[in-house]
Amino acid sequence: MIESQVESFLPLKTQWFHILLSLAGEEQHGYGIMQEVMQRTTGKVRLWPATLYGSIKRLIEANLIEESSARPAPEFDDARRRYYRLTPLGRRVLDAECERLQELVQAIRSKQTMVTERG
């Protein structure tokens, strides 16, 4: 039952994948997610604000992430910020997506060796 629910999200949209990946470690606020994605991809993927918040809204609606009540130390906090974390479902979806991508990478690698050997 849950398996099929997880399957139904795959393959994940790029933005969704990056947002979920950013939340894999710790809770983050929206702008924080944007920055992390930028750093992780060395500026190759930029989540523009409307896209980001639209995606966050859909992810909440899909029950993949949720708002977290935990807040950082007051000196780092900003009252306007909301923090998000993965739901258990969100974590499973992310795992499944990572696995799928790894398989894909494996497949590409094996093909590449063949290509290199021949070359």
Site residues (vs other proteins, CB under 8 A): 29-31, 34, 43, 48-54, 56-57, 78, 80-82
Least distance in angstroms from the C-beta of 115 to other proteins:
35
Q: What is the DSSP string of 59-98?
A: HHHTTSEEEE-----GGG--TT--EEEE-HHHHHHHHHHH
What's the closest the beta carbon of residue 74 comes to other proteins, in angstroms?
17
Minimum distance, C-beta of residue 21 to other proteins, in the bound complex (Å): 19
Comparing CB distances to other proteins, the nearer of 31 and 92 is 31
Nearer to other proteins, 5 or 51 (CB): 51
CB 96 within 8 A of CB 6: yes
The helix/strand/coil state of 102 is helix
